[in-house]
Amino acid sequence: MALNRIKPVTPGSRFKIANAFQELTADKPEKSLIVPIRKSGGRNNTGKMTMRYIGGGHKRMYRIIDFKRDKTGVTAEVKTIEYDPNRTAFIALLEYTDGEKRYIIAPNGLKVGMKLESGETAVPEIGNALPMNKIPLGSIIHNIEMQPGQGARLCRSAGSGAQLLAREGKYAAIKLPSGESRLVLSNCLATIGTVSNSDHSNTRSGKAGRSRWLGVRPRTRPSAMNPVDHPMGGGEGRNKGGQPRSRNLIYSQGQKTRSPKKGSDRLIIERRKSKRNK
């Protein structure tokens, strides 16, 4: 993909680095695959604000994505590559030979007109979904299931992809983008390739108003609050106030938040690398 460095004709465009969207081939979604989204504004069913800094933003329609890829034995043709406002990756519209249309997460290298399949008989090529016991070792995969038939749970965001390392018994070992290595049942489906829009992390919005379009309201720094509002509030001047933490006294650096009795711990071969220890 390509990025555009915007000409600095206004203060908002001076530092803006935008996506060129060269891969996109359609500007309107398939009507049969969209449903409305009702925004909460961060409020619960009684109107009380339970999540701060949420509200506003452009209206969106949700694109129904096929994460299960359970239409096996039927060939599909890629009709369009489209933008999805609900995720960082691009999506692709597939039309199967029986006329059904479905959206999938578009991998890098997917082109309009390509033929895709899913199931055990599919060829391990970009965009095809296969059980991991049918995928060659060393392959880069995304949209990985954690339970057979559950639908994709891992590696769904822009540019992400895991590597299939090994197979032993009923498990397959994969290395995730975080650096964690873990076991997953080898009859779980995964899609070949990496997720599209890999330069998403290199874009810069250029101005605060762009966050408002995305439904993000201004955030108040905890150190600027009073002690009654936040554990890091109060003090004279720019007081540090100890180790950074949340309003619920959960440390933001160093404290482990994963449950120590989680059943899937036995499936983790190697933990992800800590940024603080680098």
d(CA 175, CA 182): 7
d(CA 103, CA 90): 10
The candidate with the shortest Cα–Cα distance to 83, out of 125, 128, 144, 20, is 20
Q: Tens-digit pLDDT profile for the chain (278 aa)?
A: 689 999 999 999 999 999 999 999 999 999 999 999 999 999 999 999 999 999 999 999 999 999 999 999 899 999 999 999 999 999 999 999 999 999 999 999 999 999 999 999 999 999 999 999 999 999 999 999 999 999 999 999 999 999 999 999 999 999 999 999 999 999 999 999 999 999 999 999 999 999 999 999 999 999 999 999 999 999 998 888 788 999 999 998 888 888 989 999 999 999 987 765 55
Report pLDDT for 273: 79
Structure tokens, 143: 């949209």
Report pLDDT for 116: 97
Which residue in this structure is represented by tokens 């398939």? Answer: 30
Report pLDDT for 275: 65
d(CA 174, CA 22): 31
Domains by residue range for the chain, with CATH = 3-201 (2.40.50.140), 226-278 (4.10.950.10)
Report pLDDT for 139: 97
d(CA 101, CA 123): 21
Q: How many CB atoms lie within 10 A of CB 214?
A: 12
Q: How many CB atoms lie within 10 A of CB 190?
A: 29
